[in-house]
Structure 1
Amino acid sequence: MTVDLFPGPIVTEPADPGARPIRETVLPVEDRHRGVVHPEAVRVDLQCAAKETGFFAPHVAAEYDGHGRDMRGRTVVFEEAGGSSVLGPPALNIAAPDRGTMHLLEVVTTPGQKERHLRPLATGEIRSRSALTQPAPGAGSDPAAKVKPGRPPSAPVMNHLRPSMRRPPGTRSARVVSAVR
């Protein structure tokens, strides 16, 4: 079976408009902040600018205010946003962990869950966070970070949050990836 990885004209045409907001809007802001972690207000302003150019959330379905690009179409935009700029991915709403959370929500959730969780994340209204845990003895540098089966067994209990798992500004929920014995 042959897999065609060539991005055709429908994929490459919009890459140039995607480069313009990065060059004209994001890079000057990045220069002013000198690559230092940016305040939440800067992210919000950059996302508003990306929405005005029509190049915000290229990976999310159009019904959730995205552009619904397939994986080949996303790579062109992702490369432009992340290849030249630290603030490009958050500006286009494709930064981790939000992009992965949006993909997961779009694929596995019900329509009601999509409205409650995906839509505000896809529009940049909220942010997400990732929380990873493991059962002992493999909990890494923090052996207190464990998950144990709850009652009912389908409701695991997290008994500890690592500092990196705490809530950053703008987050409303967390995607929890857990291994439970």
Structure 2
Amino acid sequence: METPHYDPLTSSRIRLLSGNGTRSSSHIPNSACYKGWGQDEALVRADDGYLAAWKYSSRSVTIGMPPSPRDYMRVEGLGFKDSIREYVVASGEPMVISMGIGGSAGNASWSCSPPRITFTPVAGHDYDAFLEMPGGRCWIAVREIDEHGLDAPVPVEAAPKCAAADAGSAADQAAK
């Protein structure tokens, strides 16, 4: 696989924590809203899909980002079936991130599916995105990182569902 072109003047990089089985992660580049399950043509899945839960392991994809300050977001520190995927994304353009996790043991099951978030990456900056789950709550966190140990929180907003006119106009354009 060819490493995507990264120009720190016009692009950013983001690392998403995902996995096969219990953890899902995806993003929609160049968008501040989402259309709905299965309707976002630009959706990029950071996992290998539902059927990959039957695979023994997961495949990580790295493109040269600085190491994460979180051990569990480094290839050598990943948990069973977890993976990281790193992407080059346009800077100055919003993106939507979706994540979830769930599992079961015997008769007990649990899940965490927080609202999708949106933020706008800054040119030349690197980001980690992951689920935070302190005290039984969960949300998607984005942190700016660098090779010097920077680990700064990035403000995010709940991503709204695209207005019907926005969703319809994309379908109309595709039909033309």
Give the TM-score range, shorter chain.
Answer: under 0.3
Whose helix fraction is larger, Structure 1's or Structure 2's? 1
Indicate the structure (1 or 2) with the bigger Cα radius of gyration.
1
What is the TM-score of this pair, normalised by structure 1? 0.26
Q: Which has more strand, going by share of residues? A: 2
The structure whose RCO (Cα within 8 Å, separation 6+) is larger is: 2
